Chains A and B, each alone.
Chain A
Amino acid sequence: MAVEALGSAPRTKVAPWNDPTVRGWVFQVVVVGLVGLLAWYLVDNTITNLERQKIASGFHYLGREAGFEIGDTMVEYSPASTYARAIYVGMLNTLKVSVLGIIMATFLGTLLGIGRLSNNWLLSKICEWYVEAFRNVPLLLWLFLFYKLISEAFPGPRQAISAFWGTVFLSNRGVYFPVPLADAVFKWMGVALLVAIAGAWALHRWARRRQDATGQPFPSIIAGTGLIVGLPVLVWLLGGAPHHMSWPALKGFNFDGGSVIQPEFTALLFGLVLYTSAFVAEIVRSGILALHKGQTEAAAALGLTRGQSMRLVLLPQALRVIVPPMTSQYLNITKNSSLAIAIGYPDLVASINVTINQTGQAIENVLIIMAAYLSVSLSISAFMNWYNKRIALRER
């Protein structure tokens, strides 16, 4: 009734079953009700069956000792840690490969996309072949190929290839390189870096506004770079300039000390980046081609070089076409990173799989994994939608 009151234009009275508004509401209520019923049936059925089969449920197991080792961790972890910690470690690994993958695929893909439009015949053909080769073969096969290449082509640790005067070692165990020994100062250097980045950004904005207002340029790029490099170095010097390094050295079976990029990670990252950049390249190309030819001609008429017209005229406009499909590619990278299980990179799925098998709590763990991927994906979507709105054409 309230609905009818809303559309309160006086009109001839119709029976409620002939009123499209009422009918619309009725159908929607029915659909929502049916979906709700189905959900309730599923949940109830699941719980009943679990009880009947005497399978324990709940999330208590998360606090128990995990008991298994993880090969590649960004944070402290040992078999004595809890299942929750193991899942967290896996989550961080998934995020690491996804974030790096997204950044690298965007750069590579953009270059390839522009390259395909190049007037240089060779360059455009190479880019075209790259795109066709990578997007037409399943990602899983690329992963297997890269993993096999790394583990077969590189020698064992005892015959490792050394580079940079014996400080970096390449073997089928990965790339070992020296890192500074942990020191309290590094944390403050990190803070300084963040502050410097924020400062450089503010400086750049200020310079831009001043130039717009007064026409006076300010070398904000150079100043900003100086700030970003200088501030952490200053903090390092103030902190007593700790310079003790951890050097990798062969000890027993493997290298000890230093830090390592493992073959599983390398293979997964390469696979994701090379595969996805082929799609990104096509999106970028389509974005640029979507622009009216007049844009290029106008830019040329103004005397801009090809590089300038690409950077200042074409790409900013093409972004409006590029961003929405790009969101899908970013989501794809994140979700495809779960193929890690095939080549042994310990991502979220790997942690969850082991947990399922040790605890038998399949439903709970599947819920966790769904929630994790959903929140990452929704975050990416939300960010991209925000960005899309920001660059959208403001019509006046």
Chain B
Amino acid sequence: MHKTLGVSLGLAVLLASGGAMAGKDLDAIKAKGHVVCGVPTGTAGFALADSQGKWVGLDVDVCRAVSAAIFGDSEKVKYVPLTAQQRFTALQSGEVDMLSNNTTWTLTRDTALGFDFGAVTYYDGQAFMVSKKLGVKSAKELNGATICVQPGTTTELNLADYFRANKMTFKPVVIEKVEEVRAAFFSGRCDVYTNDSSALYSTRVANVPAGQSPDDYIVLPEIISKEPLAPVMRHGDNQFVDIVRWTQYAMIEAEEYGITSKNVDEMLKSENPAIKRMLGVTPGMGKALGVDEKWAYNIVKLVGNYGESFDRHVGKDSILKIDRGLNRLWSQGGLQYAPPIR
């Protein structure tokens, strides 16, 4: 009796708080003075607490940029590390304001789960990592393999679909904690580890056990799914959703115009009307979004443009050294394209 009551009360608090927030997310964020951002529990390059306990990574930069746009300060963020399993409930219940959690944008999540997605922050795709010792060159050779996979994502479905489509069989080993999945893979319990390719590169470099080297493992060339990763918000506050979406666009657009965190002050003097509009020299955009006119200036100044953020955390200046690939600007053959800020 006691236990049931406790659980119900907990549930009641959870649901009640969820109700109170709906529709007023931005007001609530402004009132409490910080954004509560759900991030991955620890993926090198995307979100990882450093030795000082400060969160860094590409996902973290999204939260910082939103904070910069709303508060003019990139550090007004409270990070809540969430597993793939916990994240949606945490967002639905109002425990976090937004997710920047390597979440794949899908129709079901956008509709039936009651969410809205921001702009795509990383174009990812699911891939396979194997030990070089196996001598496998293609995912088509994986028939009968044992595959380590983390539950609660689209990963499991893509995996089953791919093997069904290619008339192959596999045995999954499904473990919830990412550390344990990696350990199972590196100890040889599985032949293959599957995840988004970004996460595989991250694991290969950052988590390979002592005595083995990243070069002992390869990521197979096949990309078996489309994984556009984007921030997630609850239905109900379009203004907040707009801010998150245009924050990402501002970072992309800044890269396009060559505005970086270093030269943004000089760019204020630019004669280009698009730059003047974006940086708030010509007012209007901030008002339309419901934030300060210097919103984009603050984002670039405090966080950087998209290219800077990418290079710093996952690209050429990081240990991961992931190729920009699909995440190049549209003008350079990639998919990152921002609608005009006007």
- A344 contacts B188, C-beta separation under 8 Å: no
Per the bound structure, the CA–CA distance linking A55 and B114 in Å amounts to 5
Q: B92 to A53, Cβ gap below 8 A?
A: yes
Q: Which residues of B contact A148 (CB under 8 A)?
A: 183, 187
Contact of A360 among B16, B88, B234 (CB under 8 A): B88
Binds B, one of A206-214, A220-228, A237-245, A351-359: A351-359
Question: Within the assembled complex, what's the spacing in Å between the Cα atoms of A38 and B144?
Answer: 53
Which residues does chain A contribute within 8 Å of B134, judged by CB atoms?
253
A45-B12, A71-B171, A254-B144 are known contacts. Are A53 and B234 too (CB-CB below 8 A)? yes
Q: Is A110 an interface residue (CB 8 A)?
A: no
Known contacts A71-B171, A357-B84, A358-B157, A151 near B189 by CB under 8 Å: yes
A42 beta carbon closer than 8 Å to chain B: yes
Proximity bits, A129-151, B CB within 8 Å = 1, else 0: 00000000000000010001001
Q: How far is the CA of A39 from the CA of B85 in the complex (A)?
A: 27
A363 nearest in chain B by CB position: B11
Pairwise interchain contact A55-B175, C-beta atoms closer than 8 A: no
Q: Which residue of the partner chain, among B15, B18, B144, B188, contacts A151 with CB atoms under 8 Å?
A: B188
Q: Are B151 and A253 in contact, with the CB atoms below 8 A?
A: no
B residues near A356, Cβ cutoff 8 Å: 85, 152
A-facing residues in B113-128 (Cβ within 8 Å): 113-114
Interface size bracket, B side: 35 or more
Q: Quick check: A52 and B22 within 8 Å, CB to CB?
A: yes
Contact in complex: B176, A45 (CB < 8 Å): no
Partner of B161, one of A49, A67, A70: A67
In the complex, which of the residues B19, B152, B160, B175 contacts A79, with contact meaning CB atoms closer than 8 Å?
B160
Q: Could you tell me the distance between the alpha carbons of A52 and B18 in the complex, rounded to whole angstroms? A: 10
Tell whether, in the assembled complex, residue A357 and residue B19 are in contact, meaning their CB atoms are under 8 Å apart. no
Docked-complex contact A71 and B15, CB < 8 angstroms: no
Does any Cβ of B come within 8 Å of A9's Cβ? no
Rounded to whole Å, the gap between the CB of A159 and the closest CB of chain B is 10
When distances are taken between beta carbons in the complex, the residues of chain A under 8 Å from B184 are 151, 344
Closest Cβ–Cβ distance, residue B17 to chain A (whole Å): 10
**Contact count A vs B, C-beta below 8 Å:** 136
Shortest Cβ gap from A221 to chain B (Å): 43
Chain A CB within 8 A of B145 CB: yes
Please pick, from A52, A56, A344, A362, the residue contacting B174 in the complex, using a CB distance under 8 A: A344
Chain A residue at minimal CB-CB distance from B144: A252
Which listed residue (A41, A52, A69, A362) contacts B156, Cβ 8 A? A69
B153 at the interface (CB under 8 A from A): yes
Closest to A366 in B: B11
Tell me if B175 and A342 are in contact (CB < 8 A). yes
**A258 contacts partner chain B, Cβ-Cβ < 8 Å:** no
Main secondary structure of the interface of B (DSSP, over half): mixed
Residues of A close to B191: CB separation below 8 A? 253-254
CA distance A41 to B8 in the complex (A): 11
Candidate in A53, A148, A156, A341 with the most chain B CB atoms within 10 angstroms: A53
Bound CA span A263–B148, Å: 13
Q: Tell me whether A52 and B19 are in contact in the complex, defined as CB-CB below 8 angstroms, given that A254-B145, A354-B152, A360-B109 are known contacts.
A: yes
Q: Residue of A at shortest CB range from B191? A: A253
Q: A49, A79, A252, A354 — which one has the most chain B CB atoms within 10 A of its CB?
A: A49
Cβ contacts under 8 Å, B16 to chain A: 45
> In the complex, A349 Cα to B175 Cα: how many Å?
12
Question: With an 8 A cutoff between CB atoms, is B47 at the interface?
Answer: no
B159's closest neighbor in chain A, by CB?
Answer: A69
B28 at the interface (CB under 8 A from A): no
- Indicate if the CB atoms of A68 and B15 lie closer than 8 Å: no
Is the C-beta of A46 less than 8 angstroms from some C-beta in chain B? yes
The minimal Cβ–Cβ distance linking A389 to chain B, given in whole angstroms, is 24
Q: Which residues of A contact B146 (CB under 8 A)?
A: 173, 253-254
Closest to B174 in A: A344
Tell me if B177 counts as interface (CB < 8 A to partner A).
yes
Q: Which chain A residues border B142 with CB–CB below 8 Å?
A: 253
**Are A342 and B174 within 8 A (Cβ)?**
no
Asked if B144 and A253 make an inter-chain contact with CB atoms under 8 angstroms apart, the answer reads: yes
Closest A residue to B234 by CB, please name it: A53
Q: For B181, what are the chain A residues with a Cβ–Cβ distance below 8 Å?
A: 344
Cβ-based interface call for B235 (8 A): yes
State whether A55 and B113 are in contact (beta carbons under 8 Å apart), knowing that A41-B12, A156-B188 are contacts in the complex: yes
Contacts known (A53-B234, A54-B114, A254-B146); A68 close to B160, Cβ less than 8 A: yes
Residues of chain B contacted by A19 (CB below 8 angstroms): none
Complex Cα distance, B8 from A356, in Å, reads 19
Given contacts A69-B160, A344-B184, A362-B89, contact A256 B108 (CB under 8 A): no
B323 within 8 A of A: no
Q: Which residues of A contact B42 (CB under 8 A)?
A: none
Interface flag for B112 (CB, 8 Å): yes
User: Does B12 contact A42, Cβ atoms closer than 8 Å?
Assistant: yes
B262 at the interface (CB under 8 A from A): no
**What is the distance, in angstroms, from B76's C-beta to the closest C-beta of chain A?**
26
CB-defined contacts of A203 to chain B, threshold 8 Å: none
- Extra 14 A-B pairs, beta carbons < 8 Å, given A69-B163, A353-B151: A46-B11, A48-B19, A49-B15, A53-B235, A68-B156, A68-B157, A80-B164, A341-B176, A343-B175, A343-B180, A344-B174, A346-B174, A353-B85, A354-B156
18 inter-chain pairs at a CB distance below 8 angstroms, sorted by A residue, are A38-B8, A42-B15, A45-B16, A49-B18, A49-B19, A53-B114, A53-B236, A69-B170, A173-B146, A252-B145, A253-B146, A254-B145, A256-B144, A342-B177, A344-B184, A354-B156, A357-B152, A360-B113
Chain B contact residues, CB within 8 Å of chain A: 8, 11-12, 15-16, 18-19, 22, 84-85, 88-89, 92, 108-109, 111-114, 134, 142-146, 151-153, 156-157, 159-161, 163-164, 170-177, 180-181, 183-184, 187-189, 191, 234-236
Residues of A within 8 A of B (CB): 38-39, 41-42, 45-46, 48-49, 52-56, 67-71, 79-80, 144, 148, 151-152, 156, 172-173, 251-254, 256, 263-264, 341-344, 346, 350, 353-354, 356-358, 360, 362
